[in-house]
């Protein structure tokens, strides 16, 4: 079978297209140069391995010899994995939205040889359908237009690209106030679906950055509806079809408003962020449902998402990027059931099972059953019985053709997973999860870490396939700070300081903010360097950098870290009407406002020190950091715990410090828990 230029790629998504009759090229400066030499438009197609509609368009159009011939004759065809090159995806998704189109994938964009966008959309059918033109008609129309009016099209595209880049420039403002945070919380609370959880409407996405902000507001002000919104989201998702009740893990989103019908792909980033939320809520309000889902989610990570083949000599293993929605060419086929199939596995135990997992004869989606849970976990004996029944169904499901898996290692998504595992390990009392976090950190460091403190973005087949972005730096720095709080390993703090220095040098914009790409990024058109401040489905790198600086300020008492965090906030806060686009930054802003540090002093080898340390790590407030310092005499004099002492006879002591002062020490884990596990911000001290 003939192969195109994608055959040498490492990305599973690009490799899916290596045998298309389309003369695909990977994104590169050379590909754009070829377009300029041949004076052809670029057809840019962006997707990812787990994307259902990407597969559909590939089968309908890119595997069609007649359509491929049109593409090859008139265009330079470039294929991009959005997970491997989110910087390119960011630019052209912004361009698509500037054209007034709904964003999504596959992203289909036509560019001038200089990289300026001239026309775009998402999925195009092979013939006119659903009020959309057929893909061949679009190809022919654009080719004809380019041949007849090239100069006007090029000028229009260049103007659009300038507008897109200008729109991405951060609006400089000033310090945020409590009123600003309240206004954003009011807006989000007003968008909540109080019946089914999440934000109103369909399709329905989890939006973890938004709900982490709401949880932060609850933790800081005891605003009940903000916390209730997070609990409701997790409860409804945990019982709905978006959760894989047999294998664990959340799907990317639900196509309906009730969380019943998922878009079946599972992404590492969603599950990392939702694990973090499960742990935060569990820390405040323990619930058997959340404990079960966290256990099953991490079980899925460790069983199905290990990046096999990329383990290092010490056995360290990172996590893969995603699992596909499709198997055997059909979305969801791996996951859904008929009642007869379930009965064939469970036999007379079906009645016990369907008392908790409804199994209607006619199905609940396209005559198939998407498993949902109708009862709340309460009784240990019942849960043990149900676990056995689910295990039988899982074993039967495992004999099916599995969906594809994208096993590339992404630094930013792994960073999110590491931080979530650290928190969850303390809250759910699972030291093995902390070991998994360390393993993933060592693997990312080995695969993607650079001598200068930078991380590459993507790794597969023994090589880095994409240079690091701001999101990679920020997520991994945050993960390292999480591991430091759990271990007290001062080497991590030094590594964070080196990482911050190189991030400032290579990504800083000279005006207090950050570019998404480094100063040595070589293949973006015209040397463009977009800013990346808005949160999307993942936290933006700029917002995470504010959190990194705020965390360092609370840990070290160094005022320069606080000043840098405030400076980054100021570069993005000029337009108060769009502050809701920065929920990660807003969480970090509250850390600066009311955040605190739980300082553990004493002998780290003693049981009383370890007990206080674990109690501190089980806090439910994202604005509290943990400093297992042992000897406070080594702290900077500007730290409020400087010079604090352990108790009599070396008894370990915990100090809760806020606003340059510390509460009296506590010596028992239960007393520390009572001090920190309650909403209300400053009132805790």
Amino acid 621: pLDDT: 96
Residue 478 confidence (pLDDT): 98
pLDDT value, residue 519: 92
**CA atoms of 135 and 455, how far apart (whole Å):** 39
Average pLDDT over residues 85-102: 89
Average pLDDT over residues 292-317: 84
**Tens-digit pLDDT profile for residues 438-460:** 999 999 999 999 999 999 999 99
Q: What percent of the chain has pLDDT over 70?
A: 98
- The predicted pLDDT at position 523 comes to 86
**pLDDT the model gives residue 685:** 33
Tokens of 454: 């930078």
Q: What 3-state class would DSSP assign to 105?
A: coil
Q: Reply yes or no on whether the pLDDT at 130 is more than 80.
A: no
pLDDT of residue 295: 98
Strand runs (DSSP E) across 163-300, as ranges?
A: 253-254, 262-263, 266-267
Q: Are strands 24-26 and 75-81 parallel, antiparallel or unpaired?
A: parallel
User: Distance from CA of residue 179 to its chain's centroid?
Assistant: 28
Instruction: Please determine, for residue 606, whether its predicted confidence score (pLDDT) is greater than 60.
Output: yes
Tens of pLDDT, residues 535-565: 989 999 999 999 999 999 999 999 999 999 9
**What six digits make up the tokens of 474?**
């920020």
Task: Concatenate the DSSP letters of all residues of 307-322 into one string.
Answer: -TT---TT----B-SE
Mean pLDDT of 96-113: 90
Contacts of 27 (CB under 8 A, 6+ apart): 44, 78, 79, 80, 85, 88, 523
CA nearest to 46, candidates 141, 139, 111, 98: 111
Q: Is residue 446 within 8 Å of 484, Cβ to Cβ? A: no
Task: Please give the Cα distance from 590 to 176 (Å, whole number).
Answer: 9
Give the DSSP letter of residue 50. T
Please state, rounded to an integer, the average pLDDT across all residues of the chain.
Answer: 93
Rounded to 10 degrees, the C-alpha dihedral 494/495/501/505 comes to 160
pLDDT at 530: 86
What would the pLDDT profile of 669-683 be if each residue is shown by its tens digit? 999 999 887 655 443
> How much is the pLDDT for 679?
59
> 684: pLDDT confidence band, cut at 50, 70 and 90?
very low
Q: What is the distance between the alpha carbons of residues 239 and 235, in angstroms, rounded to a whole number?
A: 6
What average pLDDT does this structure show over 575-581? 87
- Mean pLDDT within 168-174: 75
The arithmetic mean of pLDDT across residues 383-409, rounded, is 96
Nearest alpha carbon to residue 82 among 117, 49, 41: 49
Residue 227 reports pLDDT greater than 60: yes
| pLDDT value at 309 more than 50 | no
Q: How confident is the model at residue 315 (pLDDT cuts 50, 70, 90)?
A: confident
Cα 122 from chain centroid (whole Å): 22
Does the pLDDT at position 37 exceed 50?
yes
**Strand runs labelled E in 190-303:** 253-254, 262-263, 266-267
344 touches 337 (CB < 8 A): no
pLDDT on residue 308: 61
Closest CA to 423 of 272, 237, 249, 223: 272
Q: In which residue are the tokens 């405040």 written?
A: 284
pLDDT at 129 over 90: no
Residue 440 parent element (H or E): helix 431-448
Token pair 């991380």 is at which residue?
455
According to the model, what pLDDT value does residue 175 have? 84
Tens-digit pLDDT profile for residues 41-78: 999 999 999 888 999 999 999 999 999 999 999 999 99
The predicted pLDDT at position 296 comes to 98
Residue 663 and residue 502: Cα distance in Å, rounded? 37
pTM confidence score = 0.94
Of the listed ranges 262-266, 308-312, 607-611, the least confidently predicted one is: 308-312
Q: Is the per-residue pLDDT at 652 higher than 50?
A: yes
Instruction: Determine the Cα–Cα distance for residues 248 and 423; give it in Å rounded to an integer.
Output: 19
Distance CA 90, CA 529 (A): 11
Q: Cβ distance 601 to 653 under 8 Å?
A: yes
Residue 634's pLDDT band, with cuts at 50, 70 and 90, is confident
Q: Which residues contact 670 (CB under 8 A, 6 or more apart)?
A: 615
């Amino acid at each position: 079978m003939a192969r195109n230029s994608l055959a040498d790629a490492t990305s599973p998504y690009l490799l899916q297209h290596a045998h298309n009759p389309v003369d695909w090229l990977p994104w590169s400066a050379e590909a754009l140069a070829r377009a300029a030499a041949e004076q052809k438009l670029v057809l840019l197609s962006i997707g990812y391995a787990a994307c259902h509609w990407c597969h559909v368009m590939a089968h309908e159009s890119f595997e069609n010899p007649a359509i491929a011939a049109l593409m090859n004759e008139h265009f330079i065809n470039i294929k991009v994995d959005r997970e491997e090159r989110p910087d390119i995806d960011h630019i052209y998704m912004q361009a698509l939205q500037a054209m007034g189109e709904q964003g999504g994938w596959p992203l289909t964009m036509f560019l001038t040889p200089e990289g300026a966008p001239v026309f775009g959309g998402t999925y195009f059918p092979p013939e006119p359908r659903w009020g959309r033109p057929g893909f061949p008609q679009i190809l022919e129309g654009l080719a004809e237009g380019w041949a007849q009016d090239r100069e006007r099209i090029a000028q229009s595209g260049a103007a659009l690209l300038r507008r897109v880049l200008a729109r991405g420039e951060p609006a400089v403002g000033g310090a945020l106030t409590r009123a600003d945070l309240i206004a954003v919380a009011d807006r989000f609370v007003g968008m909540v679906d109080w019946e089914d959880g999440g934000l109103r409407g369909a399709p329905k996405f989890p939006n973890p950055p938004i709900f982490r902000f709401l949880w932060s507001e609850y933790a800081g002000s005891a605003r009940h509806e903000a916390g209730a919104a997070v609990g409701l989201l997790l409860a409804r998702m945990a019982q709905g079809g978006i959760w894989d009740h047999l294998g664990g893990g959340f799907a990317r989103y639900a196509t309906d408003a009730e969380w019943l019908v998922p878009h079946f792909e599972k992404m590492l980033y969603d599950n990392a962020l939702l694990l973090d939320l499960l742990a935060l809520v569990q820390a405040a309000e323990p619930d058997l449902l959340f404990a079960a889902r966290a256990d099953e989610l991490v079980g899925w990570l460790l069983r199905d998402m290990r990046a096999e083949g990329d383990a290092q000599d010490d056995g360290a293993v990172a996590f893969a990027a995603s699992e596909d929605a499709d198997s055997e060419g059909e979305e969801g086929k791996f996951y859904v059931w008929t009642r007869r199939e379930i009965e064939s596995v469970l036999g007379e135990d079906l009645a016990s099972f369907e008392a908790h997992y409804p199994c209607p004869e006619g199905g609940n989606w396209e005559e198939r059953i998407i498993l949902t849970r109708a009862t709340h976990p309460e009784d240990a004996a019942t849960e043990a019985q149900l676990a056995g029944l689910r295990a039988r169904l899982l074993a039967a499901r495992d004999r099916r053709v599995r969906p594809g898996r994208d096993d590339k290692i992404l630094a930013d998504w792994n960073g999110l997973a590491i931080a979530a595992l650290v928190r969850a390990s303390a809250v759910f009392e699972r030291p093995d999860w902390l070991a998994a976090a360390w393993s993933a950190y060592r693997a990312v460091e080995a695969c993607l870490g650079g001598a200068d403190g930078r991380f590459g973005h993507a790794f597969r087949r023994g090589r880095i396939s994409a240079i690091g972005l701001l999101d990679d730096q920020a997520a991994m720095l945050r993960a390292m700070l999480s591991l430091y709080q759990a271990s007290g390993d001062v080497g991590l703090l030094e590594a964070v300081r080196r990482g911050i220095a190189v991030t400032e040098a290579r990504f800083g914009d000279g005006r207090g903010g950050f570019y998404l790409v480094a100063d040595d990024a070589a293949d973006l058109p015209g040397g463009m360097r977009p800013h990346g401040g808005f949160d999307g489905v993942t936290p933006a790198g700029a917002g995470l950098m504010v959190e990194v600086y705020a965390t360092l300020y609370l840990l070290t008492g160094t005022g320069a870290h606080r000043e840098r965090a405030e400076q980054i906030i100021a570069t993005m806060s000029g337009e108060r009407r769009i502050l809701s686009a920065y929920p990660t930054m807003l969480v970090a802003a509250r850390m600066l406002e009311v955040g605190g540090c739980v300082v553990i002093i004493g002998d780290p080898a003693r049981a009383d020190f370890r007990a206080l340390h674990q109690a501190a790590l089980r806090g439910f407030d994202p604005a509290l950091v943990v400093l297992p310092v042992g000897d406070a005499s080594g702290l900077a004099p500007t730290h409020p715990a400087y010079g604090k002492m352990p108790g009599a006879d070396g008894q370990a002591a915990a100090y809760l410090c806020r606003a340059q002062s510390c509460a009296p020490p506590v010596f028992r884990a239960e007393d520390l828990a009572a001090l920190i596990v309650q909403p209300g911000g400053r009132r805790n001290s």
